[in-house]
Amino acid sequence: MTQQSLEKLLRPSSIAVIGASDEPTKVSGRPIAYLKRYGYDGQIYPVNPRRDEVQGLKCYPSIGAVPGSVDVAIVAIPATAVIQTLNHCADAGVASCIIFSSGFSELGEEGGAVQREITNIARRSGMRVLGPNCQGVFSVGARATPTFASAFAQGELTAGPGAIVSQSGAVAAMLYQLLGNAGSGIQYYVATGNESDVTVADVMLDVVRDPEVSVVLGYLEDLKDPEGLARAGDVARQEDKPILVLKSGRTAEGKAAASSHTGALAGDDDAVEEFFHKHGIVRVGDLIELAAFSQMFGQRKRAVGRRVAVVTNSGGLGVMVVDQCKELGLEVAVLQPETIAGLEAMLPGFASAANPVDVTTQLLFDPRLLSRAVPLLMDDPGVDAVLASFGALGGGYDIDAIIGDLAQANDDHDALLAVGWVGAHEDTIRRLGQRGVPAAQNPSLTVRSLAAYVQFSLDRADAVRSGPSATTRGIAADVSTTNPGPASVPSAADVIAAYQPLTVDGFLSEYNSKRLLQELSVLQMSDVLLAPTSAGSSDLALPDFPVVAKASSPAIPHKSDHGLVVLGIPDHETLETVVKELTSRAEDIAPGTVEGVLVQEMVEGGFEAFVGVKRDATFGHVVVVGAGGIFIEIFSDYQCVLPPITYEYALAKVEALKAFPAMAGARGGEDADYEALARLVVEVGRAVEYLGDALLEMDLNPVKVLPKGQGVAVLDALVKLGEPLATPTP
Amino acid sequence: MTQQSLEKLLRPSSIAVIGASDEPTKVSGRPIAYLKRYGYDGQIYPVNPRRDEVQGLKCYPSIGAVPGSVDVAIVAIPATAVIQTLNHCADAGVASCIIFSSGFSELGEEGGAVQREITNIARRSGMRVLGPNCQGVFSVGARATPTFASAFAQGELTAGPGAIVSQSGAVAAMLYQLLGNAGSGIQYYVATGNESDVTVADVMLDVVRDPEVSVVLGYLEDLKDPEGLARAGDVARQEDKPILVLKSGRTAEGKAAASSHTGALAGDDDAVEEFFHKHGIVRVGDLIELAAFSQMFGQRKRAVGRRVAVVTNSGGLGVMVVDQCKELGLEVAVLQPETIAGLEAMLPGFASAANPVDVTTQLLFDPRLLSRAVPLLMDDPGVDAVLASFGALGGGYDIDAIIGDLAQANDDHDALLAVGWVGAHEDTIRRLGQRGVPAAQNPSLTVRSLAAYVQFSLDRADAVRSGPSATTRGIAADVSTTNPGPASVPSAADVIAAYQPLTVDGFLSEYNSKRLLQELSVLQMSDVLLAPTSAGSSDLALPDFPVVAKASSPAIPHKSDHGLVVLGIPDHETLETVVKELTSRAEDIAPGTVEGVLVQEMVEGGFEAFVGVKRDATFGHVVVVGAGGIFIEIFSDYQCVLPPITYEYALAKVEALKAFPAMAGARGGEDADYEALARLVVEVGRAVEYLGDALLEMDLNPVKVLPKGQGVAVLDALVKLGEPLATPTP
């Protein structure tokens, strides 16, 4: 059955509470208490066979007895009764359920089995299910509060442009509190719990389209729904809204044991990082940053450049803020002479009118100084953002005037404004936030959030200027793993069927790896395979001497560990001897698996790189491109790319390698053909999509990046094939 | 004249205020107001020729008219009158002056000249001078407040174990406020301003010995007194107290234009970093961190290991804190079965008794849960520190009980305890701090400060275990640049006098560079210099063929840029031709400077490294050791070392290179003789100290680190000599 949209879950006209309690502080009593407290004007149906009335409302004995249609049914009953209740809900035509109850997959396999049944009910009936083990929803616009979150029991609602979407209720509550402290607030608060049906991504995809929402804050422990997240990221780009995500489990030891170089090198978090980057989702480091970034990213203004003017009451603080700006890629604005003249006219002689602008204790004696100085800076055509950095503003300072002047300047000007105020009262920070000025007590945090916002703004502007971005095009292409490959190539299934019999433990020999990749147009092979018997025949089209010879066997994937590679063979005669030796040595190691000896051109020089593929449990195939050689491994110089891959995106990844300057001819070195390396990445990405799940690993290592115009030479290749995995590749 | 100690400046028995105002809120009125407010029981002498009485105290017409001895005279008068007044103070036998007045070196050269006169007066008279352009001193133990800092105008004094020593008054004030917010406080507050005489280092050296002080907080914009800071660091080590320093100007474009590889590579901040590291001074990133670290480092307990147990009320927060711990080098403690059993007995079934320990909302219903759970964790022999990470503790939670239980556990146990509490009231953080529990609203900040403290504790413990540390021994040796070198070597002056005539633009040829280094026992040269005429003579003891030949001229320091290096010369005959060619080519480039052709052994293999020396304006010579080759430059893989250098310290630096695993035989590579590289660093350090200021730059590049036991081969050497600099080397 088709799944319904989340419209009724997130903006319900009627809410039933199954297991409703008369006690407004109990978990099963809170939703009704909150609905009343926040003025919900839809229908409320308490359901409880043991009561006629709950919290002053008529109570129904079962969900089937409820007279009207039900958009949301809250399930707040013991875990053991949940399945039956859900079936009743589905039968009664309930649009969506929110299961508060815990005791499912979080308890291990037994609970997991029950939870899978929940998923089945949802899939079968089309009814959407949030949870189990979730705090539920607060939907501000609808004044709908099907939640038991303690955060809403007291105090005022802090409404604002944010949407909190979190797998954890406690984390959602912390974020809500932090936003409130920062003078910001929410339109949605959704805790998805165990995600038997509705995921964080599903909710994001809905709320990001709400005109009242200008920033989405996500918290994820598991990436259960990468496809959905990718879509949410793409829609957020269309809507020109930011999605900020905090993903925990960064250092989890999830590195799968892998036989290939690539698999061992790139950790799982690299793929996560690349996934967010590709889909324009901004990843933050911790909760405090997420809340601070929310304020910065939730504003209507975008940055148009990196040039920052700092205004401060302390020269020392000004220097530190400038340091941090430079470290994070912001630039120190050079002020126009008129701006400096204007500042000098309003500042005492010992103050600094250069950037950073130090207004000194003059601010004590001239409380409205900022009402003149900040607009002057924001009007300067060389200034894209103003960082107001204060500290030690004790007794005597007119805090109201400072807040008011900053807020006014922010309202009146296009340049960005952000405040870092050491030792400010929490109330000062909140009031600035309420007036729309991003502010924090920690100037470093302000600089970090400004720097991230500038980068985000410029990336978005780039995407607009250059039409659909590389990433968007990649997604728009919607190349699924079942798409037909190039017309000249047989079906993937046929190719795999042809090569699978040649594998040992999944591995193809170098020769067959290259042959497969040649068939998929990834490379052109000039290598020659000499059968053991043909060694002496000189009529084969061998490469020019000197040559390289390698024993070829699928059972010996790491040939050089076994002395099965011989370099610099000068002539026919030597080759003949080497072929015999290699064949016999390889036969000793893996009898009956030796295909022959592979003879290759000896490639001298070039920049050593590698291209590989690993499988990630969440994202499927990840293509990895990096600098080669032993030292480079130590310096972890590689980039992950998720297929489908456009040339522009691959090139950007190659350019992002730390060793790129060396490839691009730094220190008078030769310019290497790094464009060819980028093309190889694209081709590998295509091959990967074509082969689909059957491709387990691929290593092209080393790849020699030759001088400009001469392309790349793939010196070794290793492909591992397997059965398609159970997990579907997104 | 001998400079007095800072005893009377920091703990004065009598304070005169020159230019005293009757108005207690004016800059020149505040010191007396503060002295009264904070109960100073020494003598107070207002000095002002226009008044008989100031703020109720008898006023004197001049400093000379003051009846008693004066420990501190505050100078709060216009800049133009300062010199005359200082002379009067010196004549009157005043022990120390604090100059509030501004208008000196901060205004440029003119003010700088007057300030130098202040320095002269101090040096001449022995009177100590703090400032000018400084906020002065608050000395809590002495209840002495010769300061005008606004921070002390209102509110309670927040006394505590910290000593704030800052070049900037505003930054000192911010720190004071932040410490107060964190429930910590100070014994000293000293703002040194322009430092005409007394520096931050001087003050640190005094206050670090005060038994009431357990942590020193420094803020530096300029490193004016590296020698003093080094001493302060060493004394802090003896006293087993931490010095935390915030140094601004991290990204300053201070890289001197340098002709050597080493000079261009290592930025000024690298030397600063190494300087602090060498002297056991902990450098922090920003003000917020400095205040948070102060609380952590100011406690009496030290860490004895890295194993952390996390206790939280949110599984999500627990995961994030664990992530951060791992990223910062802390370990996740494995709890003993008894600990887990104990926790399980007190936690509900759905809570997690493994690490991170999730107490869930159980804390709401069992408010004293932490009084049992935290001691259990702190008693676990596998736990060195407990991180309590909370959030979303809204209405209903017994905050008093939580604070009390945490503080009690911290008092009763040796393990460390630190708190990160998202959304905590500022008052909660302050109360925890007042009870001695390091706490912050940002769990990431708590983890950062704990990780830094664990590293600091373990470093200190290492130093104790291994006797005087490498660093301490280095310092204790107190090798000055005028020390005699090895007995067999003539005086440095003689050596320099012998080599200086051989330089062009300060450079020695490779041959003479190596000859000099051989004379200083840095290396053994086997190279042979063939004079242009001697090329054909075969009776010279040439190295075995193949050899390398290089034209030798002090005028061509970068030989390979001019095709003056020929590798792999197979025999005598070829060498003869090459020598002629190189000589003639070099003569074309720099006529009359060619010494001949240097013939060297051709060294194959080995790990490519370099050792160099640059001069830093602040620290004098910096020895730099790094991995060689073009890629390594891109990855900035080098370490700075400040002479004098012990072998242990040099070895630690070599081991700290990112490429060290490659040298130590990673991936089955050959084990290189990295100990020999460390010995070379030591020898270079000795040569540097011996040559003193006359050595401007040195580059040993490449240095081939040969297989274990075979030492290193210095393939090229470049020494630049010059006149001694004006700045004295510390």
For the segment B109-145, what is each residue's pLDDT rounded down to a tens digit? 888 999 999 999 999 999 999 999 999 999 999 999 9
> What is the band of A255 on the pLDDT scale with cuts at 50, 70, 90?
very low
Per-residue pLDDT, B538: 54
Q: Work out the percent of chain B whose per-residue pLDDT is above 70.
A: 90
The more confidently predicted of residues A365 and B56 is: B56
Per-residue pLDDT, A4: 79
pTM: 0.89
Check if B154 contacts A (Cβ < 8 Å): yes
Task: Name the residue type at position B150.
Answer: S
SS3 string, A569-580, reads ECCHHHHHHHHH
A241 forms bridges with which residues in the sheet?
A: none
Q: Measuring CA to CA, how many Å separate A149 from each of A79, A159, A174, A530, B566?
A: 19, 16, 11, 72, 77
A130-139, A455-464, B137-146: the lowest-pLDDT one: A455-464
Can you tell me the ipTM of this complex?
Answer: 0.87
Cβ-based contacts of A331 with chain B (< 8 Å): none
CA dihedral A431, A437, A441, A445 (to 10 degrees): 150
CA B204/CA B210 separation, integer angstroms: 10
Per-residue pLDDT, B312: 95
SS3 string, B42-88, reads CEEEEECCCCCEECCEECECCHHHCCCCCCEEEECCCHHHHHHHHHH
Q: A residues 275-314 near B, CB within 8 Å?
A: 285-289, 313-314
The more confidently predicted of residues A469 and A396 is: A396
Task: Name the residue type at position B170.
Answer: A
The more confidently predicted of residues B385 and B106 is: B385
Is residue B724's pLDDT more than 60? Answer: no
Write out the two tokens for B588: 């074309």
Check if A605 contacts B (Cβ < 8 Å): no
Check if A193 contacts B (Cβ < 8 Å): no
Is residue A38's pLDDT more than 80? Answer: yes
Residue of B481, B485, B542, B511 lying closest to B695 (CA atoms): B481
Q: B residues 374-433 near A, CB within 8 Å?
A: 391-392, 394-396, 422-423, 426
Q: Measuring CA to CA, how many Å separate B237 from each of B226, B231, B382, B464?
A: 16, 10, 28, 10
What is the bridge-based pairing of β-strands B282-283 and B215-220? unpaired
Is residue A536's pLDDT more than 70? Answer: no
Cβ-based contacts of B441 with chain A (< 8 Å): 288
Q: Which of B150, B170, B396 sits opposite A317 (nearest CB)?
A: B170
State whether A170 and B286 contact (CB < 8 Å). Answer: no
Distance from B288 to chain A by nearest Cα, in Å? 6
Cβ-based contacts of A101 with chain B (< 8 Å): none
Per-residue pLDDT, B414: 96
Is residue B457's pLDDT more than 50? Answer: yes
Per-residue pLDDT, A663: 86
Check if B634 contacts A (Cβ < 8 Å): yes
Cβ-based contacts of B103 with chain A (< 8 Å): 350
State whether B288 and A151 contact (CB < 8 Å). Answer: no
State whether A314 and B221 contact (CB < 8 Å). Answer: no
Is residue B270's pLDDT more than 90? Answer: no
CA A581/CA A555 separation, integer angstroms: 18
Which of A359, A422, A558, A638 would you mutate first to test chain B, the one with the most B CBs within 10 A? Answer: A422
> What is the band of A534 on the pLDDT scale with cuts at 50, 70, 90?
low
CB atoms within 10 A of CB B478: 8
CA A609/CA A714 separation, integer angstroms: 9
Residue of A670, A705, A655 lying closest to B630 (CA atoms): A670
Task: Name the residue type at position A666.
Answer: A
Q: Could you say which DSSP state residue B3 is in?
A: P
Q: Which of A177, A444, A662 sits opposite B286 (nearest CB)?
A: A444
State whether A153 and B394 contact (CB < 8 Å). Answer: yes
Q: For chains A and B, what is the number of CB pairs under 8 angstroms?
A: 202
Cβ-based contacts of A177 with chain B (< 8 Å): 391-392, 394, 422-423
Check if A581 contacts B (Cβ < 8 Å): no
Give per-residue pLDDT as tens, B671-689: 899 999 999 999 999 999 9
Residue in B with minimal Cα distance to A326 = B251
CB atoms within 10 A of CB B273: 16
Q: Which of A171, A327, A635 sits opposite B251 (nearest CB)?
A: A327
A400-404, A577-581, B164-168: the lowest-pLDDT one: A577-581
Q: Which of A102, A248, A251 sits opposite B316 (nearest CB)?
A: A248
Q: Which of A150, A250, A289 sits opposite B394 (nearest CB)?
A: A150
The answer to whether the CB of A377 falls within 8 A of the CB of A309 is yes
Residue in B with minimal Cα distance to A284 = B320
Give per-residue pLDDT as tens, A347-359: 887 777 889 999 9
Check if A156 contacts B (Cβ < 8 Å): no
A490 contacts: CB under 8 Å, gap ≥ 6: none
Distance from B568 to chain A by nearest Cα, in Å? 18
Write out the two tokens for A621: 């195939």
Check if A443 contacts B (Cβ < 8 Å): yes
State whether B150 and A395 contact (CB < 8 Å). Answer: yes
Per-residue pLDDT, A439: 97
> What is the band of B728 on the pLDDT scale with cuts at 50, 70, 90?
very low
> What is the band of A636 on the pLDDT scale with cuts at 50, 70, 90?
confident
The answer to whether the CB of A694 falls within 8 A of the CB of A536 is no
A388 forms bridges with which residues in the sheet?
A: A311, A419
Per-residue pLDDT, B30: 96
First to last CA, chain A: 21
CA dihedral A450, A452, A456, A462 (to 10 degrees): 90
Per-residue pLDDT, B254: 32
Task: Determine phi and psi for A131, rounding to 5 degrees.
Answer: 100, -155
What's the number of CA atoms in the CB half-sphere (13 Å) around residue B643?
28
Cβ-based contacts of A317 with chain B (< 8 Å): 170-171, 174, 287
> What is the band of A668 on the pLDDT scale with cuts at 50, 70, 90?
low
Check if A221 contacts B (Cβ < 8 Å): yes
Q: Work out the percent of chain A whose per-residue pLDDT is above 90.
A: 73
Give per-residue pLDDT as tens, B397-420: 999 999 999 999 999 999 999 999
Which of B255, B632, B634 would you mutate first to test chain A, the one with the most A CBs within 10 A? Answer: B634
CA B653/CA B685 separation, integer angstroms: 13
Per-residue pLDDT, A666: 64
Which of A25, A178, A248, A352 would you mutate first to test chain B, the one with the most B CBs within 10 A? Answer: A248
The more confidently predicted of residues B469 and A506 is: A506
Write out the two tokens for B484: 């005699």
Distance from B276 to chain A by nearest Cα, in Å? 18
State whether A326 and B251 contact (CB < 8 Å). Answer: yes
The answer to whether the CB of A719 falls within 8 A of the CB of A508 is yes
Give per-residue pLDDT as tens, A160-200: 999 999 999 999 999 999 999 999 999 999 999 999 999 99
Which of A26, A34, A286 would you mutate first to test chain B, the one with the most B CBs within 10 A? Answer: A286
Task: Name the residue type at position B647.
Answer: Y
Residue of A306, A166, A163, A139 lying closest to A222 (CA atoms): A166
Cβ-based contacts of A631 with chain B (< 8 Å): 627, 629, 631-632, 635, 659, 662
Write out the two tokens for A681: 């990445």
Is residue A273's pLDDT more than 50? Answer: yes
Task: Determine phi and psi for A702, rounding to 5 degrees.
Answer: -85, 155
Per-residue pLDDT, A389: 96
Give per-residue pLDDT as tens, A56-104: 999 999 999 999 999 999 999 999 999 999 999 999 999 999 999 998 9
Average pLDDT, chain A: 89
Task: Determine phi and psi for A667, rounding to 5 degrees.
Answer: 55, 35
Is residue B483's pLDDT more than 50? Answer: no
> What is the band of A537 on the pLDDT scale with cuts at 50, 70, 90?
low
Per-residue pLDDT, A474: 28
Write out the two tokens for B291: 């205040």
Cβ-based contacts of B107 with chain A (< 8 Å): 350
Check if B532 contacts A (Cβ < 8 Å): no
Check if A580 contacts B (Cβ < 8 Å): no
The average pLDDT across A620-644 equals 85
B493 contacts: CB under 8 Å, gap ≥ 6: none
Query: A19: phi > 0 → left, psi -120 to 50 → alpha, else beta; which?
Result: left
Instruction: Determine if the peptide bond prior to A644 is cis (ω within 30°).
Output: yes
The answer to whether the CB of B462 falls within 8 A of the CB of B304 is no
Which of A37, A134, A135, A171 would you mutate first to test chain B, the one with the most B CBs within 10 A? Answer: A171
The answer to whether the CB of B306 falls within 8 A of the CB of B331 is yes
A133-142, A677-686, B152-161, B267-276: the lowest-pLDDT one: B267-276
Is residue A652's pLDDT more than 50? Answer: yes
Q: Which of A246, A289, A323 sits opposite B250 (nearest CB)?
A: A323
State whether B151 and A103 contact (CB < 8 Å). Answer: no
Give per-residue pLDDT as tens, B143-172: 999 999 999 998 889 899 999 999 999 999
> What is the band of B261 on the pLDDT scale with cuts at 50, 70, 90?
low
Task: Name the residue type at position B138.
Answer: F
Check if B199 contacts A (Cβ < 8 Å): no
Question: Which of A534-543, B15-24, B358-367: highest mean pLDDT?
Answer: B15-24
The average pLDDT across A207-228 equals 94
Residue in A with minimal Cα distance to B634 = A659
Is residue A580's pLDDT more than 50? Answer: yes
Range list of H helices, A388-509:
399-412, 426-434, 443-465, 470-477, 492-499
State whether B391 and A150 contact (CB < 8 Å). Answer: no
B229-243, B458-472, B639-653: the lowest-pLDDT one: B458-472
